[in-house]
Structure 1
Amino acid sequence: MRPDRGSEPQGITVLFDGYWWVDGPTANRTVQRDLITSWIAAHPEDDVVLAVRRGHDLSAAGALPENVRVVETRLWPHAISNALELPGLARKAGADVIVAHNFAPLAGRSLVFVHDLLFEDHPEWFSKAERLYFALMPLSLPFADVVVTSTQTEARRMERLHPALAPVRAVGLAVPQNLAQADSRRPQDDLQVGEFVLCVGRLNARKNLETVIRGVALAASVHAGSPLVVVGSAEHSGVGSDLSEEFTDLRDAGVVRFLGRVDDAGLRWLYENARVTVYLSRDEGFGLPPIEARTFGSPVIASDIPVLRETLGNGARFVNPRSASDLASALDDRVDSADMPGQGPDALGYSWPETVAKLRAALPWGRIRASRSSAEPRRVLYYRVHDQTYPRNRLVREHLEQRPVTVRVVEKSARSGKLHRMAHDLGRLFRHARGADIIVVAEMSLTHVPFAWLASRLVGARLVVDGFVGLYETAIGDWQLASTRSFRARRLALQDWLAIQAADVFLTDTRLRADLIRARKRSRGPVESLPVGAPSWARTVEVPRAMGPLRVLYYGNYIPLHGLDLVVDALVLACQERDMSVTFIGSGDLRADIERRVSEEGLAGRVLFADPVPEDELFSRISDHDVVLGIFGGSAKAQSVIANKVWQGLACERLVITQRSEALEELRGLTDGHLIETDPGSPRSLADALLDADPVSGDGETTARLAGYVEAEFDRVVDMVLEQDGVPRD
């Protein structure tokens, strides 16, 4: 928590917490606006980014300073937004540091201005809901590099309550600029100059209004002709004041008048023309009203408490805040402003330029300089990889590692028991996410995206989700494991949707699928297509064609996606007219049904069934055949994907027969006659394709074109992801 020392870089990018820029507690809103506008005026060389709440009308807060970039937050309340959103927004904006209010971001370089921790010393002044919410404040503050507050008194309180925060710096506050610049205007016509006592503040127990009213009742100098005028509201005020029946009598007699909230012009007139301003607060973090009163010439009677002794010095008459008689005596003594030093603008030493100077000096300059000079590569956490040799995640990692990037792989847990695996996966996710710039959720891990999203927001990392295999389309569309109207179907569809919404970048496997997601799911971030491509072993090798039957190969799982019943129907037709031998390689629940059908249709002598083979053996199997079969299922997924075996068969320059779909458009110009498409759902069309199949020799050109296309697409997408994170390509 100790601020860094050393020279300051010229011109930095600062992300300011503007959660209350448009609406919220007056003190929070005023401090945010005046601090930021004063910062811009004092340091025009800085690039200022303002994080405001989504949907707020910025014009309601007046004109934004020039050259301010605005970004939007979505989360509520303020504590959650600061903790989870500001780190990511800062990263996207290229911010050197975050300046936040009350609640710290959980990642990144940050300075947090805390108004006060009064709720911990005096919980009785706050509602239960307020105490529960404010309790998040000290829990978040250890994540900040620097914590500041407005006074030395409050800094000492914070260090006493939370020693780990030390040193807490005091940077001061100042009179709100709108108030200082307002044209004075009488708020009510019957108020007489110098003939009223003013009390300004929220109407809550801490402001001690009941003691003020009891003191007024005892003071001979306060009466209907020289009343007490109370300005303030109960909004955002905590536990209210316990006003007695005596107050009602005084109000009815005109001795106490409530004006409620008044505008800046009216408040300035009241300060300038009050006989005296009374501020009998029980405790404060700073306490602006007496500073405002002294600025505009009003004498002040204030509580004799440490914080007001610090801020007002000798510029007030101090009384015991628990004693109504002490207040009455001070009121009847006719306190004179001339007897109090510190009258007029800035006379007490508080100004926004001074506050900004102290605040900027307290920034974590060491970390800012280190981040600017660091040559360390970006760090990518590749989460829940089920198999590091699987072509898709291997290609992504290879392309990442060609850039100034280090990749840490967290493999899917192999522990026994679903809960044990989940706990093991999540433990490693949150442990290794710390320090990551990008978190990539590997294919087939969509159920873990919400946890990865949380981890990414906690550390300020970008979240990339590989949505290669959708949950709904597989379980409901392919396997038909439940009705489309069932709870399970709705849950899976929701999980798919949440994965898309959570991702800063969502990856799929074909251009068609990317277009469909953009159109239907309304993704929050970019949706990009990463083609499946072929592994390095899939290459052209000239194998002399043997004389004899057409050699046909099917490999893959026995699942509905592949449309194996249609394949058998087509083989029945084709084998009547052409001699062919067929090999089925794979496993799955439907294998027994397919074997039974093959036997019943009299194809047993032509079809060989084999168990799955290692990937390095697939090349020889493909090379030994003339035709590779693709997919022929009737689901929406079957119409939008390009299967692994289609890529692999084409890369080996074998004839590939698969059903026609829009997804194949991206391959049609690359295959040089090796791709044959059939009518969807038609065994006759597949049979005709097999009858017409004329095996061709490969020359390596199709293999090279496919590899070049995949390389270019991976380059494009990986570069896009990294450039958004500020990583240029070498």
Structure 2
Amino acid sequence: MTRIGIDCRLAGQEHAGIGRYTQNLVQRLVLNKDINWVLFFSNSTQAREILPQKLDHVKEVITPIRHYSLLEQIKLPLIFAKEKLDLLHVPHFNVPIFYQGKIVVTIHDLLWHEQRGSHVTTLPAWKYRLKYWGYTETVKKAVEKAAKIFVPSTTVAATLAKYYPKAKDKTIVTYEGVEQTYLDHEIKEKPRKKQLVYTGSLYPHKNIKVVFQALQKLPDFSLKLVGSRNVFQDNTKTLVKNYKLTNQVEFLGKLSDKDLIKLYEESFALVFPSFSEGFGLPGLEAMAVGLSVIASDIPIFREIYKNAAAYFNPLSSAELLETIHALNSSRKFLTKAGKDRVKSFSWDKMTDKTFKIYQQVLKQNHA
């Protein structure tokens, strides 16, 4: 029986967008019992989060090797090779470059190709340069080695082709989906508080600074920041103090889907001010439960959200301010357009397309 391996070390809620992608993909793929699936998890807790019950046709290999580490490049290829896989899917760019088997890879974005320099890191300059070199070499090798490359949008496909022209013919767009919890939620008309929500990390490319600048001129509005703690949270707290917004900005940390939906129900809008993204899942989740989305006017958001978001120039806090003031007049339209737009995205469709590509690659193996 065919053996397909999936590197699941970044699966689950802890790992944000990549984690959600991998979790949804794996949970659907393993429904196919005609394949021997080999799943590589960091630990047994993660394995049970993704697959609550063990399955006879699924082998779980506990692989406590940290991503982006030296061991990932030295020891992990041996672990993969031991399983004698017909195909390996690495759902991120961090491919072990010495692995000799057939692979497919998912590249969610090329953010660090587009955003680089001292402002995007908290590392000393020498360490950042070394890490950046490691990143570019790994992506280069991943692109070279992969039989197929999955990307979440045509925007990322175009960026990939710009940096790696030879990747164009083997790149496959597989749009992501929205959790059923959001899709099943009934939109209710209710009064909305004057509070904005931002969901995501606080890396510099997320451009949260422009929201703070607008908030200074909106003294009756608050901002709720949702997301796991990361190295840039302290920098963001300093920005909040510098802009004198301590009483308007609240760090809520990581929320469950249920609590996030509750927050979205009572809020004025989700703000998504990024300079760069690979997909933009938080915006679709907000739309699914009836929360209007104010997004930066960048190609990826135009591709994913179409006419279901209110757009602004991410370099202009004045334009963001205008968009916030004008939102109520277009809220009814955005709510309907958002609910309709979300129907275009499905984890099931993504998984079906992914598996068809697996089959193509496996046929090529035997040709």
Tell me the TM-score range normalised by the shorter chain. Answer: 0.7 to 0.9
1:267 paired residue among 254, 260, 263: 260
* Alignment correspondent of 2:333: 339
* Alignment correspondent of 1:66: 55
Distance 1:251 1:17 in 2: 41
* Alignment correspondent of 2:25: 35
- Deviations 1:538-595 (CA, angstroms, capped at 9, x unpaired): xxxxxxxxxxxxxxxxxxxxxxxxxxxxxxxxxxxxxxxxxxxxxxxxxxxxxxxxxx
Deviation at 1:273, TM superposition (A): 2.7
Contact 2:106/2:150 (<8 A) preserved: yes
Distance 2:185 2:61 in 1: 30
1:171 paired residue among 162, 169, 174: 174
Q: Which residue identity lines up with residue 172 of structure 1 in the other structure?
A: Y
* Alignment correspondent of 1:276: 269
* Alignment correspondent of 2:349: 354
Identify if the C-alpha distance between structure 1 residues 37 and 80 changes in structure 2 by more than 3 Å, giving closer, same or farther: farther
Contact 2:280/2:301 (<8 A) preserved: yes
Deviation at 1:79, TM superposition (A): 6.0
Identify if the C-alpha distance between structure 1 residues 256 and 91 changes in structure 2 by more than 3 Å, giving closer, same or farther: closer
Deviation at 1:227, TM superposition (A): 2.2
* Alignment correspondent of 2:160: 158
Q: Does 1:46 align with 2:35?
A: yes
Deviation at 1:180, TM superposition (A): 5.8
Query: Tell me, what secondary structure is at the counterpart of 1:363?
Result: helix
Distance 1:79 1:261 in 2: 25
C-alpha RMSD over aligned residues:
3.2
Distance 2:332 2:185 in 1: 24
* Alignment correspondent of 2:6: 16
Q: Which residue identity lines up with residue 294 of structure 1 in the other structure?
A: M
Query: Tell me, what secondary structure is at the counterpart of 1:173?
Result: coil
Contact 1:13/1:96 (<8 A) preserved: yes
Q: Which residue identity lines up with residue 27 of structure 1 in the other structure?
A: G
Distance 1:95 1:326 in 2: 53
Please identify which structure carries the higher helix content.
2
Identify if the C-alpha distance between structure 1 residues 216 and 250 changes in structure 2 by more than 3 Å, giving closer, same or farther: same
* Alignment correspondent of 1:256: 249
1:243 paired residue among 239, 251, 260: 239
Q: Which residue identity lines up with residue 355 of structure 1 in the other structure?
A: M
- Deviations 1:11-44 (CA, angstroms, capped at 9, x unpaired): 8432011112368532222221111112234x34
Contact 2:272/2:293 (<8 A) preserved: yes
Deviation at 1:135, TM superposition (A): 2.7
Which range moved further: 350-359 or 91-100? Answer: 91-100
Q: Which residue identity lines up with residue 146 of structure 2 in the other structure?
A: A
* Alignment correspondent of 1:197: 196
* Alignment correspondent of 1:135: 136
Q: Which residue identity lines up with residue 126 of structure 1 in the other structure?
A: V
Contact 1:146/1:364 (<8 A) preserved: no
- Deviations 1:195-223 (CA, angstroms, capped at 9, x unpaired): 4222212122111111001112224xx61
Which range moved further: 114-123 or 137-146? Answer: 137-146
Distance 1:266 1:183 in 2: 15
Identify if the C-alpha distance between structure 1 residues 244 and 60 changes in structure 2 by more than 3 Å, giving closer, same or farther: closer
- Deviations 1:262-311 (CA, angstroms, capped at 9, x unpaired): 22211111223322111111111112111111111111110000011011
1:363 paired residue among 349, 358, 367: 358
- Deviations 1:106-148 (CA, angstroms, capped at 9, x unpaired): 3211110112111011113532545355334313211111112
Map 1:402-441 → 2, pairs under 5 A: none
Deviation at 1:73, TM superposition (A): 2.5
What's the % identity of the aligned pairs? 21
Distance 1:203 1:53 in 2: 25
Q: Does 1:206 align with 2:205?
A: yes
- Deviations 1:308-344 (CA, angstroms, capped at 9, x unpaired): 1011011101100010011111111134432125433
Query: Tell me, what secondary structure is at the counterpart of 1:212?
Result: helix
- Deviations 1:45-95 (CA, angstroms, capped at 9, x unpaired): 333210112576634556146342101335444465665556554554443
Deviation at 1:177, TM superposition (A): 5.5
Contact 2:10/2:18 (<8 A) preserved: yes
Identify if the C-alpha distance between structure 1 residues 267 and 49 changes in structure 2 by more than 3 Å, giving closer, same or farther: same
- Deviations 1:629-653 (CA, angstroms, capped at 9, x unpaired): xxxxxxxxxxxxxxxxxxxxxxxxx
Distance 1:152 1:171 in 2: 9
* Alignment correspondent of 1:119: 112
Identify if the C-alpha distance between structure 1 residues 112 and 239 changes in structure 2 by more than 3 Å, giving closer, same or farther: farther
Identify if the C-alpha distance between structure 1 residues 64 and 311 changes in structure 2 by more than 3 Å, giving closer, same or farther: farther
Q: Which residue identity lines up with residue 30 of structure 1 in the other structure?
A: R
Structure-2-length-normalised TM-score: 0.82
Query: Tell me, what secondary structure is at the counterpart of 1:322?
Result: coil
Contact 2:115/2:205 (<8 A) preserved: no
Q: Which residue identity lines up with residue 363 of structure 2 in the other structure?
A: R
- Deviations 1:501-547 (CA, angstroms, capped at 9, x unpaired): xxxxxxxxxxxxxxxxxxxxxxxxxxxxxxxxxxxxxxxxxxxxxxx
Distance 2:101 2:210 in 1: 46
Contact 1:274/1:298 (<8 A) preserved: yes
Query: Tell me, what secondary structure is at the counterpart of 2:216?
Result: helix
Identify if the C-alpha distance between structure 1 residues 237 and 111 changes in structure 2 by more than 3 Å, giving closer, same or farther: farther
1:289 paired residue among 266, 282, 286: 282
* Alignment correspondent of 1:145: 147
**Relative contact order (C-alpha < 8 Å, sep 6+): which is higher?**
2
Map 1:596-607 → 2, pairs under 5 A: none
Contact 1:39/1:353 (<8 A) preserved: no
Distance 2:139 2:319 in 1: 37
Identify if the C-alpha distance between structure 1 residues 28 and 238 changes in structure 2 by more than 3 Å, giving closer, same or farther: farther
Structure-1-length-normalised TM-score: 0.43
Query: Tell me, what secondary structure is at the counterpart of 1:282?
Result: coil
Unaligned runs of 5+ residues in structure 1 are 1-10, 185-191, 374-730
Identify if the C-alpha distance between structure 1 residues 22 and 344 changes in structure 2 by more than 3 Å, giving closer, same or farther: closer
Identify if the C-alpha distance between structure 1 residues 293 and 55 changes in structure 2 by more than 3 Å, giving closer, same or farther: closer
Distance 2:365 2:51 in 1: 35
Q: Which residue identity lines up with residue 33 of structure 1 in the other structure?
A: Q
Distance 2:183 2:134 in 1: 33
Contact 1:203/1:209 (<8 A) preserved: yes
Contact 2:67/2:94 (<8 A) preserved: no
Distance 1:94 1:233 in 2: 36
